[in-house]
């Protein structure tokens, strides 16, 4: 399972959950993202190791651009934290005033899953994440 496929699935689940107001699913997704970020057990890597006995390419989604690495934390891991944080802000902290945030996140993640272009991921790479 590539990271791009992971984003596509995550985006679909987010969109459906937001449409049907499936808050438990949304909370579960937030929890899963936090666990992935904390434990560094990313779901695509786990599946890839199980199936192909190797991890996913850390440069997948970099579009071949050169980025300078300043920390050992991977951008994917930081991305999980970012997404989880934004979902928390949009769903729990400011559900009424920032209602658009989770929708934006869901659409963006869905689009990144289709096109392979994730500006947030590229931003994290630019910040120096591995």
Q: How far is the CB of 38 from another protein (least distance, A)?
A: 28
Is residue 24 involved in binding another protein (CB under 8 A)? no
Q: Please report the DSSP string for 30-96 in residue order.
A: HHHHHHHHHH---HHHHHHHHHHSSPPPTTTTSTT-------SS-HHHHHHHHHHHHHHIIIIISTT
Q: Is 117 left (phi over 0), alpha (psi -120 to 50) or beta?
A: beta
Using CB under 8 A, which of 1, 9, 12, 15 touches another protein?
15
The residue count for binding another protein (CB under 8 A) is 20
Is residue 104 involved in binding another protein (CB under 8 A)? yes
Site for another protein in 51-70 (CB under 8 A): 63-64
Is residue 103 involved in binding another protein (CB under 8 A)? yes
Of residues 16, 29, 124, 27, the one with CA closest to residue 76: 124
Residues that bind another protein (CB under 8 A): 15, 18-19, 21, 63-64, 96, 99-100, 103-104, 107-108, 111-112, 114-117, 119
């Amino acid at each position: 399972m590539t990271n791009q496929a992971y984003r596509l699935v995550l985006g679909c689940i987010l969109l459906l959950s937001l449409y049907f107001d499936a808050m438990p699913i949304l909370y579960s997704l937030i929890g899963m993202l936090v666990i992935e970020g904390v434990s560094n057990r990313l779901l695509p890597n786990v599946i890839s190791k199980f199936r192909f006995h190797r991890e996913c390419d850390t440069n997948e989604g970099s579009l071949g651009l050169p980025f300078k690495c300043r920390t050992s934390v991977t951008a994917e891991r930081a991305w999980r934290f970012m997404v989880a944080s934004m979902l928390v802000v949009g769903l729990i902290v400011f559900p009424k005033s920032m209602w658009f945030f989770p929708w934006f996140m869901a659409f963006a993640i869905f689009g990144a899953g289709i096109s392979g272009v994730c500006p947030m991921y590229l931003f994290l790479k630019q910040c120096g994440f591995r």
